């Protein structure tokens, strides 16, 4: 495999050698993530690792900026032609790693492949078609007005259609997406991105080399070679940075933040994240949870600020709603409402003064300090006479339990793939519906058709101000109804040697734009 | 001899059969492999389709028979994560583990024999007492703690400023207690030499050896004290025996008595224990490899568990079972060579 790739890249170098004129990239970066990409096929699995790889070896049509705005990449510009159509113009002269030139055909190929991908097809469902107008112009067509068209377009990383078409030597289709098999695309890659993959030993290391013919000659990036080592163990990853073995690590465990801050040679960057951690209250399993007063009592009993300060050591932003700041649905008026006296009063009003006993489950290796948070919540609920029988499990065992709704209160963390509030409601608070897939992770079985109707309405509202008002109203009503117990948005943290200027390339989505990374 | 081997091979098959059945029986408790394969937002229908495709919906006995049928032909299935045959994955990771175990074993042999012998010959010397004290401490510190301390000391480095730096002795003490660090703290490095097949070795380059030092020392730290104490105890017993007294009476030199006559008989039980311990060490590497991100089978196995990569877990357990049977067999063979009075198959002499 290694040989094959090297040979492939070698031939590439031959093709592109005479053209090498782009910015001088001479630096080497050694970095350690907690995991390496599972596959080279960017449509095989929708995960953070896949997107990080996508931004290194491919380029999207457009991408998010730090302030959650859009920035043109392979698409030079776009305009709305009518309610259901957006027209994109491609940049000219963009080369793939193979030397092929990017045209609308490649975008169409990629779009069709996304529609087939088990992980991505849900995101692309609202977009019905991609129509090629000419080599550098195409239309994205939706069946009804769709406000999140541009959000979705950030997931289109054009793939080299010539490279991925045809048959392999043993007769397999090169474009096939296989979840658990040795497909062509999972082992070979050709994109337009700043880096080519020159070596890959899964789980051991991955070596990237700057693409000589990279189209973005304005990019300040000066890193020529990146060696990515997956280091799963938190302590080892931090040690590797402190000892100088690597220059850049992510994520940084909260327990080591101080240690890194104290080190004079390293820089720590933290950001409030967008992944909400919350608890569901299962109304089907527990009669009392059907009573909004009981749910509110629990909401008043849980001290989000305490958890963020004491257990998360300030490494989290306390939450009273699903949407983080910057999202359309974020409602500034909603604040955490910790008040034990009020909670007791509500329990009394609901007729549960003496409390009751419930079960609770949480993972113990999925989110930061997940098991400790669960223990703290159990202790907080004990103060309003709710006895919690808590069980924490490793994530591999936890998710099947979650799918079975095996406990009365369950913990889940959610990040909106669309970077939009509606995604939270669709998966976490809509009335569960097996046919449409709505409320797939709504383990509380909370169901309010009125709120659902508002979300549906927002989903076809292209006037962004009106849409934001709708979504904020949804957030408010979920809060008043205490549909779930939000805890916090987990912070993100990266650390690097002082001469590695990571800050400008980092973002809240946690896919660093390493192509633009500057090392002094 | 032949009968002995046949007996051992059938034993190995039985062990592997039992392991595979147990591994299969507990796989439900290992979690759902699908969770690791799909994004959170993938719908239930899609999940069901993949599950069907993987054959995960079949009853366990059906799955086991399918697995066993392939296993007899040498195919232990494909790993979900690596999308490759599990045996290939294990073979890719095995050399790293073997080199780690070899490195640790070398450290153990080089240090345990002289220290053990010395403290047996001079049990009252302060140096012996020191070694015994250190080994008691060593045996009771868990390997990951040793590893973390080693990394802090020799990889990151520590600066000590407890003593007044305006005095000569203070400066000297500060300097003596501070360390520079600099040793690699993770992985095997880039300077690996290709030997054959999947074996890339770190033994033939400075970089490779440097990467090996800390992991091998931490792994050895568990077994070394055990071996020192074992050799010491055995040696002291042998030194009391009649033939040693006779040798002394005969006027043989102390060196000849200690190292030729006594040591030989001391090593017999040490070899037996050593063989078994090397098998156990392969298991201990799980901890060491995790701390040092050493890309061996231990780390691979641990990650396979967190990913519910069931085919890889089953294959790993079977391979480890096989390794245990093989090391035991080899130990028995060596034992037979060292001590010809032992009969392998237990038949009457």
Query: Given pLDDT bands bounded at 50, 70 and 90, which one contains residue A230?
Result: very high
- Percentage of residues in chain A with pLDDT exceeding 90? 73
Instruction: Give me Rg for the CA atoms of chain B.
Output: 25
Contact A182, A87 (CB under 8 A): no
Phi, psi (degrees; rounded to nearest 5) at A173: -70, 125
**Residue B118 counted as domain residue:** yes
Contact B173, B318 (CB under 8 A): no
**Residue B304 counted as domain residue:** no
Q: Worst-scoring range by mean pLDDT, A279-293, A450-464, B33-47, B105-119?
A: B33-47
**Residue B22 counted as domain residue:** no
Phi, psi (degrees; rounded to nearest 5) at B258: -65, -50
Q: Do A229 and B40 touch (CB under 8 A)?
A: no
pLDDT tens digit string along B14-31? 888 898 888 888 877 777
Query: Look-up: residue for tokens 């020799």?
Result: B154
**Residue B138 counted as domain residue:** yes
Query: Given pLDDT bands bounded at 50, 70 and 90, which one contains residue A417?
Result: confident
Tokens of A453: 């109707």
**Residue B105 counted as domain residue:** yes
Taking residue B329's Cβ as centre, other Cβ atoms within 10 Å add up to 19
Across chain A, what does the average pLDDT equal? Answer: 90
- Cα distance between residue A193 and residue A113, in whole Å: 19
Q: CA of B43: which chain A residue's CA is closest?
A: A437
- Cα A404 to chain center, whole Å? 25
pLDDT for residue A8: 45
Triad B84, B88, B91: Cα angle to 5°: 145
**Residue B234 counted as domain residue:** yes
Which of A40, A155, A204, A437 is the best mutation test for B, with the most CBs of B within 10 A? A204
pLDDT for residue B142: 86
Q: Do A122 and B82 touch (CB under 8 A)?
A: no
pLDDT for residue A233: 87
Residues 6+ apart with CB under 8 A from B33: B54, B56, B80, B307, B308, B309, B310
The pLDDT of residue B276 is above 80: no
Across chain B, what does the average pLDDT equal? Answer: 85
Length, in residues, of chain A:
520
Q: Tell me the CA end-to-end span of chain B in Å, nearest whole number.
A: 14
- Cα distance between residue A66 and residue B12, in whole Å: 59
The pLDDT of residue A20 is above 60: no
Domain of residue B162 covers 87-298
Q: CA of A437: which chain B residue's CA is closest?
A: B43
pLDDT tens digit string along A118-140? 889 888 989 999 999 999 999 99
- Cα A39 to chain center, whole Å? 17
Query: Look-up: residue for tokens 């396979």?
Result: B304
A224 touches chain B (CB under 8 A): no
The H helix count followed by the E strand count for chain B is 14, 2
pLDDT tens digit string along A423-458? 999 999 999 988 888 898 999 999 999 999 999 999
Is pLDDT larger for residue A107 or for residue B341?
A107
- Cα A58 to chain center, whole Å? 17
Beta strands in B145-243 (DSSP E): 193-196, 199-201
Segment A73-89 shows an average pLDDT of 94
pLDDT tens digit string along A319-341? 999 999 989 999 999 999 999 99
Per domain, the residue ranges of chain A are: 27-230+498-519, 272-491
Is pLDDT larger for residue A329 or for residue A12?
A329
Q: Do A202 and B82 touch (CB under 8 A)?
A: yes
The pLDDT of residue A12 is above 60: no
Name the minimum distance, in Å, from the CA of B74 to any CA of chain A: 19
Contact B294, A233 (CB under 8 A): no
pLDDT for residue B144: 84
Query: Look-up: residue for tokens 């220290």?
Result: B115
Number of domains in chain B: 1
Taking residue A67's Cβ as centre, other Cβ atoms within 10 Å add up to 8
- Cα distance between residue B277 and residue B107, in whole Å: 14
Taking residue A325's Cβ as centre, other Cβ atoms within 10 Å add up to 12
The pLDDT of residue A15 is above 70: no
Q: Do B186 and A365 touch (CB under 8 A)?
A: no
Chain A residues in contact with B183 by the CB 8 A cut-off are 243
Superfamily of domain A272-491 in CATH is Dipeptide-binding Protein; Domain 3 (3.10.105.10)
Cα atoms in the Cβ-side hemisphere of radius 13 Å centred on A491? 22
B165 touches chain A (CB under 8 A): no
Taking residue A470's Cβ as centre, other Cβ atoms within 10 Å add up to 21
Query: Given pLDDT bands bounded at 50, 70 and 90, which one contains residue B344?
Result: low
- Cα distance between residue B305 and residue A176, in whole Å: 28
Three-class DSSP category at A499? coil
pLDDT tens digit string along A353-363? 999 999 999 99
Reported ipTM: 0.81
What is the strand order of the sheet A386-393 is part of?
A316-318, A485-490, A276-281, A409-414, A356-363, A386-393
Which member of A181, A239, A427 has the closest CB to residue B185? A239
A235 touches chain B (CB under 8 A): yes
The 3 state secondary structure assigned to A294-328 is HHHHHHHHCCHHHHHHHHCCCCEEECCCCCCCCCC
Per-residue CA distances from A493 to A234, A273, A474, B140 (Å): 13, 9, 31, 36
pLDDT tens digit string along B125-135? 999 999 999 88
The pLDDT of residue A90 is above 80: yes
A47 touches chain B (CB under 8 A): yes
The pLDDT of residue B283 is above 80: no
Q: Worst-scoring range by mean pLDDT, A17-21, A234-238, B59-63?
A: A17-21
Q: Do B39 and A47 touch (CB under 8 A)?
A: yes
Segment A202-209 shows an average pLDDT of 92
Is pLDDT larger for residue A417 or for residue A469?
A469
pLDDT for residue A19: 40
Q: Do B50 and A179 touch (CB under 8 A)?
A: yes
Segment B171-197 shows an average pLDDT of 83
The pLDDT of residue A13 is above 60: no
Chain A residues in contact with B308 by the CB 8 A cut-off are 396
The pLDDT of residue A397 is above 60: yes
Segment A110-116 shows an average pLDDT of 94
Contact B266, B238 (CB under 8 A): yes
Highest mean pLDDT among A103-117, B76-90, B265-279: A103-117
CATH of the domain at B245: 1.10.3720.10
Query: Given pLDDT bands bounded at 50, 70 and 90, which one contains residue A193?
Result: very high
Q: Tell me the CA end-to-end span of chain A in Å, nearest whole number.
A: 34
Contact A289, A409 (CB under 8 A): no
Segment A486-510 shows an average pLDDT of 93
Q: CA of B54: which chain A residue's CA is closest?
A: A180
Would the pTM count as exceeding 0.80? yes
- Cα distance between residue A296 and residue B20, in whole Å: 51
Q: Which strand (E) or helix (H) includes residue A52?
A: helix A48-57
pLDDT for residue A26: 85
The pLDDT of residue A21 is above 80: no
- Cα distance between residue A337 and residue A333, in whole Å: 12
Name the minimum distance, in Å, from the CA of A416 to any CA of chain B: 9
Q: Do A437 and B43 touch (CB under 8 A)?
A: yes
* Domain over A27-230+498-519 is classified CATH 3.40.190.10: yes
pLDDT tens digit string along A130-179? 999 999 999 999 998 999 999 999 999 999 999 999 998 888 899 999 87
Name the residue among B122, B117, B71, B89 with its Cα closest to residue B235: B117
Per-residue CA distances from A309 to A303, A487, B345 (Å): 10, 12, 67
Q: Worst-scoring range by mean pLDDT, A245-249, A365-369, B254-258, B276-280?
A: B276-280
- Cα distance between residue A411 and residue A389, in whole Å: 14
B86 touches chain A (CB under 8 A): no
Query: Given pLDDT bands bounded at 50, 70 and 90, which one contains residue A7?
Result: very low
Q: CA of A122: which chain B residue's CA is closest?
A: B42
Segment B304-325 shows an average pLDDT of 87
Burial class of residue A333, CB neighbours in 10 A (0-12, 13-18, 19+) = exposed
Three-class DSSP category at A330? coil
pLDDT for residue A332: 94
pLDDT for residue B261: 85
Q: Do B32 and A32 touch (CB under 8 A)?
A: no
The pLDDT of residue A1 is above 50: no
Window 235-294 of B, Cβ < 8 Å to A: 290-293
A70 touches chain B (CB under 8 A): no
pLDDT for residue B343: 63
Long-range contacts of A367-375 (CB under 8 A, 24+ apart): A367/A275, A367/A277, A367/A411, A367/A413, A367/A490, A368/A253, A368/A254, A368/A312, A368/A315, A368/A316, A368/A490, A369/A254, A369/A311, A369/A312, A370/A277, A370/A411, A372/A311, A373/A277, A373/A307, A373/A311, A373/A312, A373/A411, A373/A487, A374/A411
Name the residue among A275, A212, A288, A266 with its Cα closest to residue A498: A266
Contact B36, A180 (CB under 8 A): no
Query: Given pLDDT bands bounded at 50, 70 and 90, which one contains residue B257?
Result: confident
**Residue B7 counted as domain residue:** no
- Percentage of residues in chain B with pLDDT exceeding 70? 97
**Residue B32 counted as domain residue:** no
pLDDT for residue A17: 40
């Amino acid at each position: 495999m290694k040989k094959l790739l090297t040979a492939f890249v070698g031939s590439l170098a031959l093709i592109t050698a005479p053209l090498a004129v782009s910015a001088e990239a001479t630096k080497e970066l050694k970095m350690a993530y907690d995991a390496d990409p599972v596959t080279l096929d960017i449509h095989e699995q929708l995960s953070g690792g896949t997107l990080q790889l996508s931004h290194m070896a491919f380029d999207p049509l457009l991408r998010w900026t730090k302030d959650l705005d859009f920035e043109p990449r392979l698409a030079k510009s776009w305009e709305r032609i009518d309610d259901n159509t957006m027209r994109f113009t491609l940049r000219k002269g963009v080369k793939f790693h193979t030397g092929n030139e990017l045209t609308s055909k490649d975008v169409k190929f990629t779009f069709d492949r996304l529609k087939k991908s088990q992980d991505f097809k849900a995101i692309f469902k609202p977009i019905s078609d991609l129509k090629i107008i000419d080599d550098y112009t195409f239309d994205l067509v939706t069946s009804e007005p769709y406000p999140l068209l541009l959000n979705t377009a950030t997931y289109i990383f054009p793939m080299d259609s010539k490279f991925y078409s045809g048959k392999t030597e043993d007769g397999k289709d090169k474009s096939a997406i296989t979840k658990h098999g040795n497909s062509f695309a999972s082992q070979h890659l050709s994109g337009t991105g700043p880096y080519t993959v020159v070596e890959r030993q899964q789980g051991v290391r991955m070596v990237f080399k700057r693409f000589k013919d990279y189209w973005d000659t304005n990019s300040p990036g000066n890193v020529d070679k990146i060696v990515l080592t997956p280091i799963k163990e938190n302590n080892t990853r931090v040690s590797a940075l402190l000892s100088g073995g690597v220059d850049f690590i992510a994520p940084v465990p909260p327990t080591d933040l101080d240690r890194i801050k104290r080190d004079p040679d390293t820089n720590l960057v933290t950001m409030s994240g967008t992944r909400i951690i919350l608890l569901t209250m299962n109304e089907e399993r527990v009669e009392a949870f059907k009573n909004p007063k009981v749910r509110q009592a629990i909401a008043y009993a849980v001290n989000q600020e305490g958890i963020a300060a004491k257990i998360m050591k300030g490494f989290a932003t306390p939450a009273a709603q699903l949407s983080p700041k910057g999202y359309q649905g974020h409602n500034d008026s909603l604040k955490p409402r910790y008040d034990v006296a009020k909670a007791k009063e509500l329990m009394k009003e609901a007729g549960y003064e003496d409390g009751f006993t419930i079960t609770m489950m949480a993972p113990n290796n999925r989110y930061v300090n997940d098991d400790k948070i669960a223990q703290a919540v159990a202790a907080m609920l004990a103060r309003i006479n709710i006895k919690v029988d808590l069980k924490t499990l490793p994530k591999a065992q936890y998710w099947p339990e979650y799918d079975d709704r095996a406990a009365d209160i369950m913990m889940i963390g959610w990040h909106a793939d669309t970077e939009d509030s509606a995604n939270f409601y669709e998966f976490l608070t809509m009335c569960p519906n097996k046919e449409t897939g709505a409320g797939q992770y709504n383990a509380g079985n909370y169901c309010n058709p009125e709120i659902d109707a508002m979300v549906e309405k927002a989903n076809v509202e292209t006037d962004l101000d009106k849409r934001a008002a709708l979504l904020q109203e949804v957030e408010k009503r979920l809060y008043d109804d205490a549909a779930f117990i939000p805890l916090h948005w987990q912070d993100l943290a990266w650390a690097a040697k002082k001469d590695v200027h990571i800050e400008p390339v980092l973002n809240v989505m946690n896919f660093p734009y390493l192509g633009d990374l500057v090392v002094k | 001899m032949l009968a002995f081997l046949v007996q051992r091979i059938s034993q190995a098959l039985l062990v592997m059969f039992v392991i595979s059945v147990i591994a299969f029986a507990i796989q439900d408790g290992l979690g759902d492999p699908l969770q690791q394969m799909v994004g959170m937002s993938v719908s239930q229908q899609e999940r069901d389709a993949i599950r069907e495709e993987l054959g995960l919906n079949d009853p366990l006995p059906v799955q086991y028979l399918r697995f066993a049928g392939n296993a007899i032909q040498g195919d232990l299935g494909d790993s979900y994560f690596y999308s490759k045959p599990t045996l290939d994955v294990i073979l890719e990771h095995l050399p790293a583990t073997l080199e780690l175990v070899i490195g640790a074993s070398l450290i153990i042999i080089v240090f345990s024999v002289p220290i053990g012998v010395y403290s047996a010959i001079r049990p009252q010397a302060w140096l012996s007492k020191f070694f015994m004290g250190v080994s008691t401490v060593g045996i009771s510190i868990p390997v990951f703690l040793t590893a973390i301390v080693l990394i802090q000391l020799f990889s990151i480095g520590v600066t000590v400023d407890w003593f007044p730096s305006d005095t000569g002795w203070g400066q000297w003490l500060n300097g003596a207690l501070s360390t520079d660090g600099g040793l690699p703290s993770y992985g095997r490095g880039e300077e690996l030499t290709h030997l054959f097949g999947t074996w890339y070795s770190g033994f033939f380059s400075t970089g490779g050896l440097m990467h090996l030092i800390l992991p091998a020392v931490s792994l050895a730290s568990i077994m070394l004290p055990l071996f020192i104490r074992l050799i010491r105890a055995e040696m002291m017993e042998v030194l009391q025996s009649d033939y040693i007294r006779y040798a002394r009476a005969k006027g043989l030199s102390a060196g000849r008595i200690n190292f030729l006559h006594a040591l030989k008989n001391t090593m017999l039980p040490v070899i037996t224990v050593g063989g078994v311990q090397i098998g156990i060490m392969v298991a201990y590497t799980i901890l060491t490899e995790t701390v040092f991100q050493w890309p061996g089978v231990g780390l691979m196995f641990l990650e396979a568990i967190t990913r519910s990569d069931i085919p890889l877990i089953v294959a790993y357990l079977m391979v480890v079972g096989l390794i245990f049977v093989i090391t035991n067999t080899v130990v028995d063979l060596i034992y037979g060579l060292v001590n010809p009075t032992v009969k392998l198959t237990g038949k009457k002499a």
